[in-house]
């Protein structure tokens, strides 16, 4: 299993605007607190960008891939900021459409870990330009002109039109790109109680699925990685993320678990998107499945060791060198803030406690 290459991302390559990956979904302007505390107490915020799909697009572009982000933003200053910022990572934003009648979504969050009860997020995305995405309001040719099409369950929760778009893109059809789907369950977005059925339907229509073990337990009541595979037999590749324990990939009837390196966490945001980007990057390069998981862990570690959602990834050579470590050395790996810039200092690559 360790030397097996997973599904090949072959997708359409003859179109004039073909790219490695197309990521479709809502991106928002995010306001990050200037200090810890309740939203009611934080006096000021720093502006950033947030959005699972655009996070993946930016990380993949920073890793050297040709990437397009497709979405809708308002004809407003926040829309300008999103397009300019995402484009600055090297992402193709020419297929992003502007909506003169609907605003760009924004949200505010506290500085704490999302997993704690103290964490607060205030979304202002109802009626946003992105919620009007549909088969009629996005350019489907641009969406399908990639080796990989990356989607998430977040988009499906935004509106009936958005769900219809995802159903269209995950429907089986000749010549479609490899469809990558991150379940990304956001309970607060699902007001109708249909998330279990809808997310299961969409995941079963994808070729490559990412889901957290705890997430699968929350949304589907599944216990353990084998139960997740039983519920999702259709995707050729299924990646079950297990937090600090690592991740398990199911590929053509086989399973492989790869532990995560130890990480000195700065902020537990953006790691899931970064993991997907690392795994997809290695997939596009045709690397063995073990290395795909390791590259996912390394990209996640880059995100975990910075305050925001997006991080500068390690150079490809640096990541390849770490991914090629033997099991014992990989097990001793510990990554802290600044590790992505330590490629010329071998003593910092493998640290033990």
Q: Helix (H, G, I), strand (E, B), or coil: what is residue 98? A: strand
Instruction: Compute the Cα dihedral for 164, 169, 170, 173 and give only its sign.
Output: positive
Structure tokens at 110: 């506290």
Edge-to-edge strand list for the sheet holding 45-50? 45-50, 28-33, 106-109, 121-124
Judge whether 293 and 287 are in contact, CB under 8 Å: no
| Sign of the alpha-carbon dihedral angle for 312, 292, 259, 218 | positive
Q: Within 46-135, where are the H helices?
A: 52-62, 77-88
Query: Distance (Å, rounded) from C-alpha 114 to C-alpha 116?
Result: 6
Phi, psi (deg, nearest 5) at residue 308: -95, -170
> Which value, to the nearest 10 degrees, does the dihedral of the CA atoms of residues 169, 271, 27, 208 take?
0
* R_g (Cα) of the chain, nearest Å: 19
Where in the sequence numbering do the catalytic residues fall? 273
């Amino acid at each position: 299993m360790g030397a097996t290459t997973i599904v090949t991302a072959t997708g359409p390559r003859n179109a004039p605007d073909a790219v490695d990956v197309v990521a479709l979904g809502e991106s928002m302007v995010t306001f990050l607190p200037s200090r810890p505390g309740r939203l009611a107490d934080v006096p000021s915020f720093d502006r950033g960008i947030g959005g699972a799909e655009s996070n993946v697009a930016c990380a993949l572009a920073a890793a050297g891939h040709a990437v397009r982000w497709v979405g809708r933003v308002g004809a407003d200053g926040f829309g300008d900021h999103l397009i300019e910022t995402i484009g600055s990572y090297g992402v193709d934003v020419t297929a992003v459409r502007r909506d003169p009648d609907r605003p760009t979504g924004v949200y505010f969050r506290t500085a704490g870990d999302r997993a704690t009860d103290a964490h607060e997020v205030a979304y202002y995305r109802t009626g946003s330009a992105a919620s009007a995405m549909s088969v009629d309001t996005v350019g489907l040719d641009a969406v399908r002109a990639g080796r990989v099409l990356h989607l998430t369950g977040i988009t499906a929760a935004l509106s009936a039109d958005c769900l219809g778009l995802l159903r269209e893109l995950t429907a089986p059809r000749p010549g479609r790109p490899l469809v990558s789907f991150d379940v990304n369950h956001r309970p607060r977005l699902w007001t109708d109680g249909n998330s279990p059925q809808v997310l299961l339907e969409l995941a079963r229509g994808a070729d490559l699925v990412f889901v957290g073990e705890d997430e699968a337990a929350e949304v589907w009541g599944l216990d353990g990685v084998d139960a997740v595979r039983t519920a999702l037999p259709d995707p050729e590749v299924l990646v079950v993320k297990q937090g600090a324990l690592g991740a398990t990939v199911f590929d053509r009837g086989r399973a492989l678990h790869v532990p995560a390196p130890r990480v000195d966490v700065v902020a537990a945001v953006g790691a899931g998107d970064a993991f997907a980007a690392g795994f997809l990057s290695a997939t596009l390069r045709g690397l063995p499945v073990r290395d795909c998981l390791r590259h996912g862990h390394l990209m996640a570690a880059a995100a975990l060791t910075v305050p925001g959602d997006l991080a500068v990834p390690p150079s490809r050579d640096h990541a390849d060198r770490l991914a090629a470590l033997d099991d014992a050395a990989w097990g001793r790996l510990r990554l802290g803030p600044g590790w992505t810039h330590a490629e010329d200092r071998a003593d910092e690559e493998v640290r033990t406690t």
